[in-house]
């Protein structure tokens, strides 16, 4: 089997690395200290994304994207994930559900989103509905030729930057008919309740939205009534693969920084890497990263080869679970190797250590990933994970 990256794959990797080092790393300290970036900086970064050809990497060229394979998206995400403050988020990935839009929706939402002229956020989670989507209470009721949406959504990542929201709501309040609606943020009845602060520093916000008698037409139904959960699952697969790639990048940057520090830091007349306690930590970090990277790259390559939808969903849970927990362990060791310096916010290792904690929670907690994986074992047997051919065949 060929495990090498193609010249085109490596070119995307180099492009993403150059962008991260030139455009993202220089913003890290200002973002950390101030908690936000000036509007002019965000606008400049948006233009830089387009200039570097990183806009819409997850969509086809026909709609203004870059047409990247899943493996290419992975190597890009890995390089961008090395930036702290989730600065990787300035490189937008228009929601995969938009591919299922009507011709008008693709024209009005997907194409300008790929170009960076519009930006979406996805609203699923609610005060009483997180891992259990059946508890979603946001509803869309039919009134004449309109849909009227009422409800509340939490943790709407990038909701402060977006100009439209993909809202997961139950048609007529029926949990068996979850539906996605395209809601322009300026629509009457849409308001932000608050924007809470979190452990990590994030380049964009995660506001809570309230929808009060928000009216939209049939032209705002995305993918058809009742298909919301199906399309949301597809979005979860893509998001989980992206998180896994970002976690790889964060872990690698932390590992490289820790190894460099352990080589330069002298105590008791010796570099601290000469002490077995430190060298063993570095060895464990290397093993964890290599194992995770092998899995993440393999799953991405299998998706490019036509992996079936159900197996892709199961394997996305594997890579998200493994990579997010790996990154937490690796970066915890990196902080330990740096000692007191590893606890200073000016140190990228400290920031990365906080950044990756959320990766075990959002887009499905580690526990939910285990539920998905366990359910697949129950339904399909162990070979879906232990076999080598696609789907364990």
Q: How far is CA 44 from CA 38, 72, 175, 286, in A?
A: 10, 25, 42, 36
303 closest CA partner among 72, 92, 114: 72
What pLDDT score does 391 carry?
A: 60
Q: What is the pLDDT of residues 356-390, one digit of tens each?
A: 999 999 999 999 999 999 999 999 999 999 988 76
Q: Which residue of the set 28, 208, 288, 363 is catalytic?
A: 363
Residue 290: strand pairing partners: none
7-115: which CATH topology? Butyryl-Coa Dehydrogenase, subunit A; domain 1 (1.10.540)
Is 363 assigned a catalytic role? yes
Q: What is the pLDDT of residues 256-312, one digit of tens each?
A: 999 999 999 999 999 999 999 999 999 999 999 999 999 999 999 999 999 999 999
Two structure tokens written together for 33: 């200290």
User: What CATH architecture does domain 120-224 belong to?
Assistant: Beta Barrel (2.40)
Query: Residues 259, 138: contact at Cβ < 8 Å?
Result: no
**132 pLDDT band (50/70/90 cuts)?**
confident
In sequence order, what are the residues at sequence separation of 6 or more whose Cβ sits closer than 8 angstroms to the Cβ of residue 252? Answer: 78, 82, 289
CATH tag, 229-392: 1.20.140.10
Residue 211: strand pairing partners: 151, 190
Domains of the chain, residue spans = 7-115, 120-224, 229-392
Average confidence (pLDDT) over 185-199: 96
**320 pLDDT exceeds 60?**
yes
3-state secondary structure of 251: helix
Residue 190: strand pairing partners: 211
Q: What is the pLDDT of residues 205-237, one digit of tens each?
A: 999 999 999 999 999 999 999 999 999 989 999
Q: What is the pLDDT of residues 49-97, one digit of tens each?
A: 999 999 999 999 999 999 999 999 999 999 999 999 999 999 999 999 9
**392 pLDDT exceeds 80?**
no
- In the chain, which ranges are E strands? 120-123, 139-143, 146-153, 164-171, 178-184, 190-194, 208-217, 221-222, 266-267, 270-271
């Amino acid at each position: 089997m060929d495990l090498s990256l193609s010249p085109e794959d490596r070119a995307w990797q180099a492009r993403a690395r150059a962008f991260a080092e030139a455009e993202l790393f220089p913003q890290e300290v200002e973002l950390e200290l101030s908690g936000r970036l000036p509007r002019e900086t965000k606008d400049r970064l948006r233009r830089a994304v387009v200039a570097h050809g990183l806009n819409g990497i997850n969509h086809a060229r026909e709609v203004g994207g870059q047409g990247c394979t899943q493996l290419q998206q992975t190597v890009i995400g890995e390089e961008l994930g090395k930036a702290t403050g989730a600065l990787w988020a300035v490189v937008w990935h228009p929601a995969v559900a938009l591919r299922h839009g009507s011709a008008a929706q693709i024209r009005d939402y997907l194409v300008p989103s790929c170009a960076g002229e519009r930006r979406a956020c996805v609203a699923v989670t609610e005060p009483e509905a997180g891992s259990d989507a059946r508890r979603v209470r946001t509803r869309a009721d039919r009134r004449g030729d309109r849909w009227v949406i009422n409800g509340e959504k939490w943790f709407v990542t990038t909701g402060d930057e977006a100009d439209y929201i993909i809202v997961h709501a139950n048609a007529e309040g029926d949990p068996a008919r979850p539906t996605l609606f395209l809601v322009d943020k300026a629509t009457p009845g849409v308001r932000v309740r608050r924007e809470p602060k979190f452990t990590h520093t994030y380049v964009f916000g995660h506001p809570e939205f309230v929808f009060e008698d928000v009216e939209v037409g049939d032209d705002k139904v995305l993918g058809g009534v009742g298909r919301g959960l199906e399309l949301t699952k597809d979005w979860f697969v893509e998001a989980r693969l992206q998180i896994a790639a970002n976690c790889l990048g964060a872990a690698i940057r932390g590992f490289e920084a820790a190894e460099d520090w352990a080589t330069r830091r002298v105590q008791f007349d010796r570099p601290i890497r000469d002490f077995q306690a430190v060298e063993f930590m570095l060895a464990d970090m290397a093993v964890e990263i290599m194992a995770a990277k092998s899995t993440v790259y393999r799953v991405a390559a299998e998706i490019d080869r036509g992996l079936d939808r159900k197996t892709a969903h199961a394997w996305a849970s594997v890579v998200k679970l493994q990579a997010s927990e790996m990154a937490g362990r690796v970066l915890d060791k990196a902080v330990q190797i740096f000692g007191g310096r590893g606890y200073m916010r000016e140190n990228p290792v400290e920031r990365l250590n906080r950044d990756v904690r959320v990766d075990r929670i959002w887009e499905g907690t580690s526990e939910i990933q285990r539920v998905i994986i366990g359910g697949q074992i129950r339904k399909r047997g162990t070979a879906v994970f232990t076999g080598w051919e696609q789907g364990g065949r």
